[in-house]
Amino acid sequence: MRNWRVALAVPGLMAGAMGDAAGVEVSCPDRLAVEQRAQAPDGWIVSYSGIAPRLSGVSIFDGQPANRVSVNHDRRRQARRELILTWNLGHSPRSHYLQCSYERTTASISMPLPPGTSQCEVAYDLTTSYPGGAMPVKRMVCR
């Protein structure tokens, strides 16, 4: 699993919400380490794949995600084999939050976006999907 760190303007790198937002980019980690526990019925054996769940969804919230005030994307376009969603973010007294969802788990992670973040863009891969119908995220960044 990758840690949040300052990005060098290369898609897929992580950024931390440290200090001034000028020049800071934030993106979701590509994978999330998740520890599962299952209780198998008598006679059954539990096994695990050992593969970390991959990024399958990005949401933006006005305030903490627990408040359930999601922000709709402003632009949706298809380019080649991608679905690209763009959020243009204005000022929010509650802060905008980035939430990252992953395939094969109900776990998600979120963090407040750095002050001054004005746009998030997500590109989904239209050529494939995960079980359950979620599309892989090819790249995403908030600036």
Listed by start position, the domains of the chain span 55-142
Percent of the chain with pLDDT over 70: 84
Band (pLDDT 50/70/90 cuts) for residue 48 is confident
Q: What's the rounded mean pLDDT across residues 59-87?
A: 95
Counting other chains too, the contacts that 96-99 makes at CB distance below 8 Å and 24 or more residues apart are 96/60, 96/61, 96/62, 96/71, 97/60, 97/61, 97/63, 97/64, 97/65, 98/26, 98/28, 98/58, 98/59, 98/60, 98/142, 99/58, 99/59, 99/60, 99/61, 99/65
Report if pTM > 0.85: no
